[in-house]
């Protein structure tokens, strides 16, 4: 009874805001008391409303009251502290909605600090003390506070579930074990827990080992990502430099061709103009002579005509007209044709090189890879259509069905000459370049060899009786 009185006094002299003993107690006009700091903080938050209220009874005050220390309450609180209850220990804290409450407390319940699996109840420190002091409670199992204690009671027999039925994989009480679970494989719940705990620890060990292994893999993958990024960045940089060099080389060659054309243009124009100037001089001279002849032709005096005629110079051969007629002027169209031919060759080289470059890019492989297919359905994911290249077919081979079927003949088929054609082997290549994983199926009759080869393999060699595709 004395303990209950002390507890009551403590509650009476506690602040309803902080739930602790009053500090510098003040009392509002409605009669409720608070810590000075607590009520000031509460009213500070209400200042913007200009209406202040009591946290307990909600009575409002306008204006904000001026608070003064309640000396009587302060003295009583100090006296209460001297009884040894200076600070409220954690176990005297009251239980909130989320807490497990003490089942033995009356009135406002305190937080439970332990739950008993035998009593199926939870206790605060004060009411738990008998479990420590009395021999009758020594074998009781204490656990962390739990709200689910009733789940340990058999709903049918209202007894503790202390047996585990391995047959039905469920917890049962003693009466269940001799009733509907009679003859089943049963052990104590504690024994099953020990076994399951051992399995649990083993599984945890496996999980932790896998975590360690996968953390190592993650580190390796991170290193691989960094390596890929470094390699890609360097390759991009190097490729840009190489392409820049190619562009500069083409620009240099273009400039050189332009310079040569202009130089030759100047030379040819100068030569033509020189010939033109000489021809114009000859024309002027011929016109002068023609004028003299015309003048002489109009002379009426026969003696004068005959006297002056022998003095006229004979007409000489033109030194330029004949060369012009024999060798027509040559322009620069052949240069354009040569540059066009160079362009076509470069396009062919770039096309072939681009295929190889793309192949190299797609063949970049890292640690991650898809599992190898185990069935035809798995392989069909990588299926690709293959057509055959007639320009590579040996002359004794005939292609049909859209160049997807090849048949061996016993004589030449009179194919046109082509540098890609096989000349000594019964072989033909596909048109398609293979990149990454590729799968195809072949129907055959007789002996057929199938292989994967580079496009650059030799086309000449000794005769062979096999067909390779």
* 3-state class (DSSP) for residue 250: helix
| Neighbouring C-beta atoms of residue 234, cutoff 10 Å | 10
Q: In which band, very low, low, confident or very high, does the pLDDT at 262 lie, cut at 50, 70 and 90?
A: very high
Which of the residue ranges 60-69, 117-126, 162-171 would you say has the lowest mean pLDDT? 60-69
Q: CA 332 to CA 268: how far, in whole Å?
A: 11
How high is the pLDDT of residue 465?
42
**Vertex 354, ends 348 and 358: CA angle to 5°?**
155
Per-residue pLDDT tens digits for 151-167: 888 888 888 888 999 99
* 3-state class (DSSP) for residue 439: strand
The residue-averaged pLDDT of 438-459 equals 88
The residue-averaged pLDDT of 287-293 equals 87
Q: Please determine whether the domains at 10-84 and 374-468 fall in the same fold group of CATH.
A: no
Q: Where does residue 15 rank: exposed (0-12), middle (13-18), buried (19+ CB within 10 A)?
A: buried
Superfamily in which the 374-468 domain is placed by CATH: SPRY domain (2.60.120.920)
Q: In which band, very low, low, confident or very high, does the pLDDT at 201 lie, cut at 50, 70 and 90?
A: very high
CATH architecture for segment(s) 10-84: 2-Layer Sandwich (3.30)
Q: Quick one: which of 383, 397, 381, 412 has its CA closest to 469?
A: 397
Per-residue pLDDT tens digits for 352-385: 788 778 777 777 766 556 678 888 888 888 888 8
The residue-averaged pLDDT of 233-256 equals 93
- In this structure, are residues 171 and 189 in contact, taking their beta carbons and an 8 Å threshold? yes
How high is the pLDDT of residue 392?
92
Q: Quick one: which of 27, 39, 40 has its CA closest to 68?
A: 27
Mean pLDDT of the chain: 83
Query: Is the per-residue pLDDT at 331 higher than 80?
Result: no
In the chain, where the domains are located: 10-84, 208-307, 374-468
């Amino acid at each position: 009874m004395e303990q209950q009185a002390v507890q009551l006094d403590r509650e009476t002299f506690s602040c309803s805001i902080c739930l602790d003993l009053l500090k510098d107690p003040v009392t509002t006009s409605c009669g409720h008391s608070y810590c000075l700091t607590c009520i000031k903080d509460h009213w500070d938050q209400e200042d913007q409303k200009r209406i202040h209220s009591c946290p307990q009874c909600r009575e409002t005050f306008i204006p904000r009251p001026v608070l003064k220390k309640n000396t009587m309450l302060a003295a009583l609180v100090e006296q209460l502290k001297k009884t040894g209850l200076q600070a409220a220990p954690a176990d005297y804290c009251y239980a909130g909605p989320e807490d497990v409450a003490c089942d033995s407390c009356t009135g406002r319940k305190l937080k439970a600090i332990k739950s008993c699996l035998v009593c199926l109840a939870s206790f605060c420190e004060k009411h738990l003390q008998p479990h420590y002091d009395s021999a009758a409670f020594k074998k009781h199992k204490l656990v962390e506070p739990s709200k689910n204690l009733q789940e340990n009671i058999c709903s049918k027999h209202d007894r503790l579930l202390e047996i585990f039925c391995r047959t039905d994989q469920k917890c049962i009480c003693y009466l269940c074990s001799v009733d509907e679970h009679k003859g089943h494989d049963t052990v104590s719940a504690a024994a099953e827990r020990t076994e399951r705990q051992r399995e649990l620890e083993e599984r945890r060990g496996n999980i932790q080992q896998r975590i360690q292994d996968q953390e190592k893999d993650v580190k390796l993958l991170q290193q691989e990502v960094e390596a890929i990024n470094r390699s890609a960045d360097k390759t991009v940089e190097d490729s840009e430099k190489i392409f820049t060099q190619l562009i500069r080389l083409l620009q240099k060659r273009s400039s050189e061709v332009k310079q040569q054309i202009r130089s030759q243009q100047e030379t040819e124009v100068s030569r033509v103009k020189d010939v033109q100037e000489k021809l114009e001089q000859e024309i002027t001279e011929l016109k002068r002579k023609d004028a003299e002849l015309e003048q002489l032709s109009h002379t009426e005096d026969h003696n004068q005509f005959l006297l002056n005629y022998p003095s006229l110079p004979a007409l000489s051969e033109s030194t330029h007209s004949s060369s012009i007629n024999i060798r027509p002027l040559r322009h620069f169209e052949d240069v354009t044709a040569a540059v066009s031919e160079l362009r076509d060759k470069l396009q062919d080289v770039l096309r072939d090189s681009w295929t190889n470059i793309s192949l190299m890019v797609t063949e970049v492989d890292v640690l991650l890879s898809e599992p190898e297919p185990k069935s035809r359905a798995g392989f069909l994911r990588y299926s690709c259509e293959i057509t055959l290249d007639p320009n590579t077919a040996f002359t004794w081979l005939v292609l049909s069905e859209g160049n997807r079927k090849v048949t061996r003949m016993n004589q030449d088929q009179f194919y046109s000459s082509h540098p890609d054609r096989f000349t000594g082997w019964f072989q033909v290549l596909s048109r398609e370049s293979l990149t990454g994983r590729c799968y195809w199926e072949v129907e055959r009759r007789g002996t057929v060899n199938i292989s994967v080869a580079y496009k650059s393999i030799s086309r000449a060699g000794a005769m062979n009786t096999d067909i390779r595709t």
